[in-house]
Amino acid sequence: MTGEAIAPTFIRVADDYDVVIGSGVLDRVAGLLRDGVERVLVVHPPTLPGLAQRVAGSLAAEGYAAELAEVPDAESAKTSSVAASIWAQLGRAGFTRTDAVVGVGGGTVTDLAGFVAATWLRGVQVVQVPTTLLGMVDAAVGGKTGINTDEGKNLVGAFHPPAGVLCDVDVLATLREADLVGGMAEVIKCGFIADPVILDLVDADPAAARRPDNPRLRELIERAIRVKAEVVAVDLKDNAIREILNYGHTFGHAIEQVEGYTWRHGEAVSVGMVYVAELARLAGHLSGPEGEALVARHRQVLESVGLPTTYRGDRWDALRTAMRRDKKSRGSTLRFVVLDGLAQPTRLVGPSDELMRSAYGLVSRG
């Protein structure tokens, strides 16, 4: 992909904004801003100063007053203190309600930038420029923003659709392999809940699916984004069908919290998908040979791209406590997204502790 002239793909989300996917499109940020913007704050992690400066330079060339805000890397960016430091910078620079924020980075940066934009003057524009596979197919699309607290992940946040999302596939060549592999979990998730062609494409050539210079990866990105766009179009605020996008996330988020966010999000979600597949089988949602085969396919597809499918066996009490803080819970009742079959997501409400622990035993090691 890198160096090739590939026409950008435009995916419309709920008639509100476009997701632009292409090669060499990083300088198109200005084209996604809406009327009235004068000042733009480009939020970025310390690992991407060059990309952030390039974005700021392209904005300045279009007449915008652009400045940079460097934030910590990974989950350490998503705190109230970091958000407060950006609010202070916006205040000092005199940002008004018609100005904008641009998030350049992985999912943690786009989550933070979106939250800051949602809360500054009760809402200013944000354009997201995800630079990781995870950010492109999940975090930057859909308008969910948030920060973490000591009690859990993304417990403080807002729904704030962006003015646009710009996915330049060339930047994926700069990722460490582990980060690219981690992002594949969210792509594969979309295959299980909505678009089985994704699974077929990965099965056909797992190595190509994780190579940033292979057109197969761009097709997977576009398919995953289309799944999310179609869901968000009918349920922006997570009141109904949007819950299916959290397939594997209740258990996955619990792993992240118990491990102090030292696990990559995609790695945790990968184990989480195997967990809910086993939970669905035990609860009778996946039965017979077809159900057994679908559970096995979770492990096969995820492992084929290098993702984990097991977790340590001595953390059940901590995981259960973390899951009960999940945003999908209602009161003391846990809710899981499970499958009735391939691309047939549904909800499992209030499974017993015995059932949940039995499923944990099936994904445990050691």
Annotated binding site for Zn(2+): 186, 249, 265
CA distance 223 to 300: 20
CB-based contacts of 188: which residues, under 8 Å, 6+ apart?
Answer: 198, 199, 202, 270, 273, 301, 302, 305, 307
Q: Which residues are annotated as a binding site for NAD(+)?
A: 73-78, 131-132, 144, 153
Residue 77, token pair as written in the block:
């960016």
Residue 318, token pair as written in the block:
């901590």
The single-letter code of the amino acid at 352 is: S
CA distance 154 to 239: 17
- Report the candidate in 136, 190, 144 with the shortest Cα–Cα distance to residue 345: 190
Q: Which residues are annotated as a binding site?
A: 73-78, 131-132, 144, 153, 186, 249, 265
CA distance 195 to 308: 22
SS3 letters for 55-85?
HHHHHHHCCCEEEEEECCCHHHHCCHHHHHH
Q: Are 87 and 93 in contact (CB under 8 A)?
A: no
Q: Strand 164-168 to strand 125-130: parallel, antiparallel, or no bridges (unpaired)?
A: parallel
Q: Are 228 and 137 in contact (CB under 8 A)?
A: yes
Torsion over CA: 136, 302, 148, 132 (sign) = negative
